[in-house]
């Protein structure tokens, strides 16, 4: 599948992969900062953002999409950053194509299977909105607020709601396909290989996605990994603490 992407800056190639319900646009501010020393590619993964929709949605096809993009761009070695679902894609890519990954950054996700109940809540809230029946974004926000108290999360989710030229709203994200394939996206690594290159796992101190008990699992597949914490950040580290987030990246990228 041919993915939509944004390209920033000049220098050694760096790819950023967003998480579930996300898109490349969420990473523009971070991308601009990293573009001072890199050619940054911000990808929309399938069923997200401006990339095509497909009923097939699992890590095999997400991995194939990424590899096809890297081949198409003639990238021989890349720094790879992945957040949440994008982090799981990045981990799998590093294990499958270690010769193409210079350094790996995984943002607030472990290589384990997740059973987070809030995803079901998110889908219930999103499916409760009929885009064809609302006339403004505030109406959609009011509907979401019945199930989701956190305004920042509602704002994040509603970035996927877009107004067409005819004035009607629609979902840019492929909600149905993602919902039907959610167990596959929650799945953990099952690979027998290891990635013997530098890897940085960044977690939010106010997030429960990477627990202390997950460290041994990370080292199992990524023995050279560094695991660092941004104390005041939630799951969305890059939005909560962009300066500290970029400082961790710059330090990691500058070391051999």
The tens digit of pLDDT for each residue in 175-233 reads: 999 999 999 999 999 989 999 999 999 999 999 999 999 999 999 999 999 999 999 99
The tens digit of pLDDT for each residue in 142-167 reads: 999 999 999 999 999 999 999 998 88
Tell me how many domains the chain contains: 2
Could you list the residue range(s) of the whole structural domain that residue 126 is in? 118-180
Same domain, 167 and 196: no
Same domain, 125 and 145: yes
Same domain, 94 and 199: yes
Question: What pLDDT, on the 0 to 100 scale, is given for residue 212?
Answer: 97
DSSP characters for the chain? ----EEEE-SSEEEEEE--TT--GGGGHHHHHHHTTTEEEEEEPPTTSTTSPP-S--SHHHHHHHHHHHHHHTT-SSEEEEEETHHHHHHHHHHHH-GGGEEEEEEES--SS----THHHHHHHHHHT--GGG-SSHHHHHHHHHTT---HHHHHHHHTTEEE-TTS-EEESS-HHHHHHTHHHHH----------S-EEEEEETT--SS-GGGHHHHHHH-TTEEEEEETT--S-HHHH-HHHHHHHHHHHHH--
Q: Specify the pTM.
A: 0.96
Query: For residue 90, what is the domain's CATH number?
Result: 3.40.50.1820
Same domain, 92 and 27: yes
């Amino acid at each position: 599948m041919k993915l939509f992407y944004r390209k920033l800056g000049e220098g050694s190639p760096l790819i950023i992969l967003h998480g579930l319900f996300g898109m490349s646009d969420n990473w523009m501010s971070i991308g601009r900062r990293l573009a001072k020393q890199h050619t940054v590619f911000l990808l929309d993964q399938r069923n997200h953002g401006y990339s095509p929709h497909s009923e097939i949605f699992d890590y095999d096809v997400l991995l194939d999409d990424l590899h096809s993009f890297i081949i198409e761009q003639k990238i021989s070695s890349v720094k790879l950053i992945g957040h949440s679902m994008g982090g799981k894609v990045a981990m799998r890519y590093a294990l499958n194509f270690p010769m193409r990954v210079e350094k790996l950054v995984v943002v607030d996700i472990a290589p384990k299977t997740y059973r987070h109940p809030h995803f079901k809540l998110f889908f219930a809230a999103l499916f409760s909105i009929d885009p064809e029946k609302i006339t403004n974004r505030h109406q959609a926000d009011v509907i979401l607020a019945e199930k989701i108290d956190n305004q920042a999360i509602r704002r994040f989710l509603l970035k996927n709601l877009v107004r067409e030229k005819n004035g009607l709203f629609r979902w840019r994200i492929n909600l149905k396909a993602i919902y039907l394939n959610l167990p596959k996206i929650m799945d953990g690594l099952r690979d027998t290989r290891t990635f013997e290159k530098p890897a940085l796992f960044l977690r939010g101190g106010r997030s429960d996605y990477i627990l202390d008990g997950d460290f041994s699992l990370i080292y199992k597949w990524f023995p050279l990994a560094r695991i660092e914490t941004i104390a005041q950040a939630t799951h969305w580290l890059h939005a909560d603490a962009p300066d500290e987030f970029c400082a961790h990246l710059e330090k990691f990228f500058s070391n051999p």
